Amino acid sequence: MKRTPFVFAMIQLSVIVLPVCAQTRTLEIDDTFRIAGVGDPAFSPEGEWIAYTVGTTDLEEETRETRIWMVDVNGTQVLPMTGVGSSASRPRFSPDGKYLSFLASRNGGKSQVWVLNRVGGEAQQLTRIEQGVQSYEWAPDGSKLLLTIRDPETDSTDTPQPWVIDRLQFKRDYTGYLTDDRRSHLYVWTLADSSLKQVTEGEYDASQPTWSPDGRLVAFVANRTEEPDANGNSDIWLVDTQVDDAPSSVRQLTTNPGSDGQPAFSPDGRWIAYVTVIEPEIIWYATSHLAVISLDGGEPALLTTELDRNVDSPVFSQNGRYIYFGLEDSGARHVARIHRNGGAIERPVAGDRRAGPFTLGPRDNVASVISEPHLPGELFVKSGSELVQITRTNQDLFSGLSLGEVRNVTFPSADGTEIEGFIFTPPDYEPATRYPTLLRIHGGPVSQYDFGFKFEAQLLAANGYVVILTNPRGSSGYGQEFSLGIWQSWGVKDFEDVMAGVDYAISEGYADPDRLGVGGWSYGGILTNYVITQTDRFKAAISGASEVLYVANYGHDHYQRQWEAELGLPWENRELWERLSPFNRVENIVTPTLLMGGEKDWNVPILNSEQLYQALRRLGRTTQLVVYPDEHHGIRRPAFQRDRYERYLSWYSRFLMPKDPVF
């Protein structure tokens, strides 16, 4: 299962050509708002129904709405459970199956738990928490709810006050300055009398809570170290909810210095499965592993170290013999399982697809939101050996679209390391024609392109481009050593890897070498900056939400701990900070470059794009800066999302499309 880099004697190892959808029209920008998002599946206790969410966007009103739906396991009945005009989330069935519950903010109030009687009738509000409910879990016997609630506000003045900073981590994207010391704690709410009992307290956030099978204990995740801002050391803790002074009973279960989270009890209540990071010193490059620990504590068993792939979302089988989990591997995401004592890994949901959120039924049948190259996420059920699609939320839209083919390819990088990628071709692709070609680079850097539907790549292909998506060193689906390939050396091996993808597309006859474009967002923008400072092969570049002069970000963005872990303190290791900064090679850039970002992005501040823009203008290069007001790292306003795609198409067309096709 571990992929080992080696030198290839041949350029192309494998090409999978995926079918083209029925041809009616090509994809257009506004289709991104017509695609509904399916998510958060939950099995009913008897296993005959699955509740899930469907998110939609109203472009004209610039609003988003999420509704709860329910589908039977055969996909023959699809029922809307909540109406239009009020979003709902986190659908869950009561343990007796009588009620379907969810979170919703209705009538101008805060988010509360609501329930629908499955026999019929209107939804009824269960909780009435003044500051609202962040999350909830049913107790196993259905008599209580475990609520996650943030502390109430103590200062209600409307007059602006100075921000007084004393935390080590003092800023966060979408939040701004971290001056609010309120914490999220766990409470038990009893249905019979609506009583509320606090079970955690202190200057620590509690998250990811889950009940023990007997309904007495709650496992949760918290970083209770002396200086939580200085590390990622979250641990799993236990609290006895049935004692009078529950917060005093809190007991630490895991002691790993890295991150421990996503706890799941075994059916007999003796074990907890969880996800752990055992090498926190390499921050996000570290592989996350599946672990099991006794409720009594002690040394955990690490079950997936030989797998060397990231895992998530563990859940025990009904008999407790197996642990199911999400698995990221080589351009795909699967649902896998392993015996609770370790051993061989099976993949109930496998193949060339992205299996996202999943839920386990009472007969260990798996329901998962699955996306494929020509299919946005839909619910599938795996029962026995058969994987069956049971929702078709976007079928009407996609039955009328002509999409480009998607080829899964591999090719060697400069040092022979195997690199995987995807090539998208226009719907009317002619193999004898060389097309203007776009290298689009993913963010992260510890992320990956996978087999799931890619709207952006399909949109660019619909406008006449061949699109290259690659997973260079730093990507997450190929093991820890592969991710670490860019440690303290951004823009070296990953630059070679993405350029190898371009060379492959040229050698196979897809790409016109005289009409190449490049671009990406976040780390995709950062690597774009490295690309255009090292080569003049590209005729157009788009660098979105990127970094360029790294020392300027220290104390300005929200990554101080990660900067220090990889590059050291800037006043002690300044040479490395400067050597890695693309800004110090800005004079090499000749590619016309569009720079973009959000005004209030504290993840990758717009400061970077401003500096690069200023330098390019001073050098007399062709450039433009686009800043989206009140936006953060992700551009959320629908009108701005549309504007960004329009600018992508306009910029690339300006420099890549005037020339006649090459034969």
CATH top class, domain 130-153+166-252: mainly beta
Helix extents (H) in 54-98: none
Q: Are 360 and 41 in contact (CB under 8 A)?
A: no
Average pLDDT per consecutive 10 residues, the chain (663 residues; last block may be shorter): 31 40 80 97 97 96 95 96 92 97 91 92 93 97 97 81 90 91 95 96 96 98 95 97 95 97 98 98 97 96 97 97 97 97 96 97 96 98 93 97 98 98 97 97 97 98 98 97 98 98 98 98 98 98 98 96 97 98 98 98 97 98 98 96 98 86 46
Model confidence pTM above 0.85: yes
How far is Cα 445 from Cα 425, in angstroms, rounded to an integer? Answer: 25
Pair of tokens at residue 626:
């686009």
pLDDT at 22: 44
Mapped onto helix, strand or coil, the DSSP state of residue 339 is strand
Backbone angles phi, psi at 462, to 5 degrees: -65, -20
Which residue in 345, 254, 326 sits closest to 294, CA to CA?
Answer: 254
What is the domain partition of the chain in residue ranges?
A: 130-153+166-252, 404-656
pLDDT at 8: 28
The residue whose two tokens read 């995709």 is: 524
How far is Cα 7 from Cα 473, in angstroms, rounded to an integer? Answer: 15
pLDDT at 44: 97
pLDDT at 552: 97
Find the helix packing angle between 455-462 and 638-656, rounded to 10°: 40
> The domain 404-656 is classified under which CATH number: 3.40.640.10, 3.30.360.10, 3.40.720.10, 3.40.50.1820?
3.40.50.1820
What is the enclosing helix (H) or strand (E) of 32?
helix 31-34
The residue whose two tokens read 């370790």 is: 342
Pair of tokens at residue 244:
């009078």
Q: What is the CA radius of gyration of the chain?
A: 25
